[in-house]
Amino acid sequence: MSQHMDETPLSSTKQLALSPLLAPLSNLDGVGPKTSQLLVRAVGGHRVIDLLFHLPNAIIDRRYRPELKNAIPGRIATLKLQVIHIEKPQRSKQPWRVHVTDGTGTAELVFFSQWQAKKVQPNAKIIVSGTVETYNNRLQITNPHYLEPIENEFMIPAIEPVWPLTAGLFPKNLYKALRSALSKCPELPEWIDPTLIQQHQWPTFRKALHLLHFPSDFPELFENQTYEAMESRARSRLAFDELFAEQLAIGQAKRTSQQSPGRVLIGDDSLTNQALQKFGFALTQSQEKALREIKHDLEQPFRMLRLLQGDVGSGKTIVALLTALHAVEAGYQAVIMAPTEILARQHYEVFSDLCSVETVFLSGSIKGNARKETLEKIQNGTAKIAIGTHALFQEVVEFHNLALVIIDEQHRFGVEQRIKLGDKGENTDILVMTATPIPRTLLLTRWGELQVSRITQKPAGRKPIQTTLHALDSMDKILQGIERMLSQGCQLFWVCPLVEESEVMDLAAAKDRYLSLKHHFGENNVGLAHGQQDSNERQEALDLFAKNKTKILVATTVIEVGVNIPNANIMVIEHAERFGLAQLHQLRGRVGRGEKQSYCLLLHDDKINFTAKKRLALLRDTEDGFLIADEDFKIRGGGEVTGRRQSGLPDFKLVDEIRLEQWINPAWQSAEYWFNQERMASLPQKEAIECLLLLFNKNNSGRLLRSG
C-alpha cells in the first residue's frame, strides 16, 4: 500500500490463490467468447471476481408451503400435488388446464404452451412453485415457475436469487458461470480487524459471496428468519470490504500527494492587490482563510490537491481569480475550466474586468481565426490565464508553462477528462471547486484524497431569500403577484419543470410556458434560454436579460450554475417537486445577489404527497446548503467517486445507500488505523490488505491522485 509495502510482493502461494479470481471470464468452465462478452456487459468487468461481485438484486422466496385449503392468493407457493385430469383447450388460443389436488382442496394449473401441459400425466405426483391466484372462485397457478416430478423436489430452490441481466444473457448461463467462479474462490486471508468481525457476526469473504449467490446451499438457515439475518450480514460485510478498499486507496493517494513533487509558486501580490482594488469589496474572513490555505499549498515544493467548497453565492470566483493571479505572479500560466459555456463565459467576464494580464476564452463555439489566435496565445505564453469548457481537453491545446489547473463544478467531469487537463502541464497544482455543499459521506468517499477549504460566509449586505410554496392551481394569483413586482422594476427567472430522462419534453415545457408568459406580459418582456439552443442565441437571451431589456427569462436548468445577474431578484421554479433539493438550492442561488429583497417561489403539484412537501418545506425553512446537501444525499444518493457516472450514488458494486451511510465511517477509521500501524504489521497482515486491494482493483492509487 505505502511505498515500502509496494516493494513487498504477495507470496507465491497468495498469488496462486488470487490468480483464478483475477483471470478473465473466458477462463470459466463452459464460458465461450459470446457468453464472455455478454457477462462482461452485464457485470461491468472482465475478471472472474467482477462476476462474483455481481450480486442478486432480488430474491424469490419459495419457502411458503401451505395446504391448498389455506393457500393465500397473491403469494408464491410451493405445493406437492396429484394430477386429477388434464383438460385440453376446445379452441386455439385457449389454455390447457391441469386439475390437481393435495387432499385438502383442488386447484388448476393453467398453461398457454402445450409442451408444458404434456409434461404431466393423470395421477402423477408433482411439485410446483408459482403465484397462487383465484379465478371464478377457484384457485389456480398460471404458468408455474417450476413443475417437477415429486422425486425432483430438490430442484426447486427455497430461496431463488434474481440477478440483473443483459440482452441475450439467460439466468441459467449466469448461474453456471457463477458456480464455476465460486469454485475458483478460495478462503482468503482476513483483512478486517477480528474485533469488528466478531462484533457484527460477519461471515468470511468467500462465505458471504456463497450465501448471496447460492442460498439453497444453506438449508439450515431457512427456519425462523435466520437466512434474512445472515443475508443482511453478508451484504454488510461485502459493503464494508469495498468501502475499506476505497478508503485505503484514497488514504494512500492523500499521503502520496503530500510527498509528490510540485512547483514552488511564490507571488509578489502585485496582481492580486490590483484585482482586489478593482473588485471594490473586502473579502470575507472565510474567503481570506481559504486563500491563505491555497497560497500556502502553492508555495510548498509539493503538488497542491485542494477542494474549495462553498455554498451558492459565497464568492468562490474571486478566490479562484486571486489564486490564478498568484500563479501568474510566479511566472506561470493558469487555466480555469467550467462544465458549461455559460459558466465559463461568466468567469471570463469577471476575470477580464478585474485583472490586467492577458486572459483568453476557449469553447466549442470559438471557430476559425479567433480559435487559431487563442490557441497560439496559449502556446506561446502570451495568454497568462485561459478560461473555457471541455474544449481545453483537446490535444491541439498546448500550454507554454502551465502550473495551475482550476476546475469549477468538478462533479460534472469524469476522471479521464480531469487527468487530460492535469497532464497539460508538469506537476500541475490542482484546485477543484464546487458550489454544491458536500455531505461528510461524500467527502470521505469521493473527495477523501483532497485537502478541503470551505467558504461558509456570504458577502456582506446580502439579504436572506424569502422562499414560499405555492400549489400550481393558484397560478392566477401567482401571475398577479408577479405583475405587481415587475411594475416595481424587478426581474425574474422562470425555471420550467424537469421531465426525467427527456430533454425534448423539458424543452416542450419551457416553450409552452414561454408562449403563455409572452401572451400575459407582452412580446418583448419575455426571453427564453435552454440547452438545445445555439450558444450564441442562448447568450443573446441572457445578455438581453442582464441588460434589463427583458423582464422575465424562461429557462431550463441550463441556468443552474454560472448566471450572475444581480438585478434579478425573483426565482420561480415550476413543478419544484421534480427537482433534487441540492438542485433547487443551486437555482435559488441565482437570485439574492443584489441589494434588493429576493424571493423564490416553489410551485408544486397540488396533489404531492407528505414526503415531497416536507422536502420543499426544508428548502423554505433554511438557506444552509450543507444541511440541504445532507438531506438530499439521504433522499437521492450522492455523486460518483472515481467512475463515469455524474449523479446518483457513488459507483460502487456492493454498497447501497443505507450501507454507505452505515459503514463509511468505520471503513475510514479502519483505513486510518491501518496507516498508523502498518510499519508494525506482520507479513500476513500486509498480504491480506494487498489481496483486498487487488480484488477491488484499488492497488494503483496513483491514478486516483492524478485525477484530482
63-72, 179-188, 306-315, 684-693: segment of lowest average pLDDT: 306-315
Mean pLDDT, rounded, for 461-469: 87
Mean pLDDT is highest, among 161-170, 439-448, 460-469, for 161-170
317-331 average pLDDT score? 96
Q: What value does the mean pLDDT take over residues 565-572?
A: 89
Is there a contact between 153 and 22 (Cβ–Cβ < 8 Å)? no
pLDDT at 226: 84
For residue 561, name the pLDDT band (cuts at 50, 70, 90): low
Output the nine-digit C-alpha cell for 1: 500500500
β 106-111/96-101 pair status: antiparallel
Q: Is 229 left (phi over 0), alpha (psi -120 to 50) or beta?
A: alpha
Q: What is the pLDDT of residues 38-52, one digit of tens each?
A: 999 999 899 999 999
The least confident of 130-139, 541-550, 561-570 is: 561-570
At 419 the pLDDT is 53
- The mean pLDDT value of the chain amounts to 85
CA distance readout (Å), 441 to 249, 423, 631, 641: 16, 29, 12, 11
Phi first, then psi, for residue 30 (nearest 5°) are 75, 10
Split at pLDDT 50, 70, 90, the class of 365 is confident
Q: Going by DSSP bridges, is the β-strand pair 96-101/76-87 parallel, antiparallel, or unpaired?
A: antiparallel
Here the cell at position 679 is 510499519
Least trusted range by pLDDT, from 98-107, 268-277, 400-409, 677-686? 677-686
- Rounded mean pLDDT, 639-661: 57
Report H helices in 139-200: 171-183, 194-200
Distance CA 379, CA 399 (A): 5
* Residues 579-625 pLDDT 10s: 888 788 888 988 887 778 999 999 998 888 887 888 899 899 888 87
pTM of the model: 0.63
* Residue extent(s) of CATH 3.40.50.300 domains in the chain: 466-622
Check whether 704 has a pLDDT greater than 50.
Answer: no
Residue 636 confidence class, pLDDT cut points 50, 70, 90: low
Q: 361 vs 257, which has greater pLDDT?
A: 361
If DSSP states are collapsed to H, E and C, what string results for 219-246?
HHHCCCCHHHHHHHHHHHHHHHHHHHHH
Distance CA 493, CA 554 (A): 6
* DSSP structural state of residue 654: S
Contact 618, 631 (CB under 8 A): yes
The H-or-E segment that residue 457 falls in is none
What DSSP assignment string belongs to 4-30? Answer: HHHTSPPPHHHHHHHHHHHSBGGGSTT
pLDDT greater at residue 414 or residue 30: 30
Cell 454560472 belongs to: 562
The verdict on domain 63-156 having CATH code 2.40.50.140 is yes
How far apart are the C-alpha atoms of 377 and 399, rounded to whole Å? 9
φ, ψ for residue 37 (rounded to 5)? -65, -40
- So what's the pLDDT on residue 73? 94
| CA terminus-to-terminus distance, the chain | 19
Does 445 score more than 50 pLDDT? yes
What residue spans in the chain does CATH classification 2.40.50.140 cover? 63-156
Contact between 217 and 182 under an 8 Å Cβ cutoff? The reply is no
| Contact (CB, 8 A) for 140 and 112 | no
Q: Which CATH class is domain 466-622?
A: alpha beta
pLDDT at 635: 60
pLDDT (average), residues 331-357: 90
Predicted confidence (pLDDT) per residue in 480-515, tens digit: 999 999 999 999 999 987 654 455 565 667 888 999
What is the pairing mode between strands 96-101 and 125-135? unpaired
